[in-house]
Structure 1
């Protein structure tokens, strides 16, 4: 199997997930995936869960995140860890961009 090491940004398509949320899958393999996620102000990512571990890093904007029973207001430079199967969701308070890292990769995003 050939491992892909380079993922040019201009080759990655922006996917419209609806409701003011778009995402672009960046580097990934079977074990890990990097995803750029763009939110418009007021966009809500409904509470959900999945079997993947996830780290979210805020590149820009301001967000209210709920992870399990805790709620956080976070901005540029802040990050969150979400363990597998924990319920989480977000509301975008100021338009911005997140960088999500998943392990293993999200097959449903490919």
Structure 2
């Protein structure tokens, strides 16, 4: 499946805008569009999540650990693991989920 920029669906979750990019039966890709001080509250989901920071600066919390991440950094959050994110500077992150998140569709 090919998703062109014109075909990417704009969505919002927990106050954060994102683009639904490529998605299939076993995985999905989103481009998160963070504004300064966007906060994704502590949550968990059955999908494993891996991300790549394109731009911006963030605080990522995975269970009891806190990380400052920025452009070029990547991360993985195991399935059913509590995590949260706060945008310190606006930017974009590519997130990959497997299996796809049903609450994003």
State the match for 1:86 in structure 2.
Answer: 81
Instruction: Report the TM-score, using the length of structure 1 for normalisation.
Output: 0.91
State the match for 2:67 in structure 1.
Answer: 72
Number of matched pairs: 105
State the match for 1:41 in structure 2.
Answer: 36
SS of residue matched to 2:9:
coil
Distance in 2 separating the partners of 1:100 and 1:9: 16
Distance in 2 separating the partners of 1:106 and 1:18: 14
**Unaligned segments of structure 2, at least 5 residues:** none
State the match for 1:16 in structure 2.
Answer: 12
- TM superposition outliers: structure 1 runs of 4+ over 6 Å: none
SS of residue matched to 1:60:
coil
Distance in 2 separating the partners of 1:17 and 1:87: 17
User: 1:12-54: per-residue Cα shift (whole Å, max 9, x none)?
Assistant: 12123363x1011101101010000011111100010001000
Instruction: Report the TM-score, using the length of structure 2 for normalisation.
Output: 0.95
Q: Which stretch shows the higher mean deviation, 8-17 or 64-73?
A: 8-17
Cα offset, 1:108, TM superposition: 1.7
Distance in 2 separating the partners of 1:81 and 1:13: 24
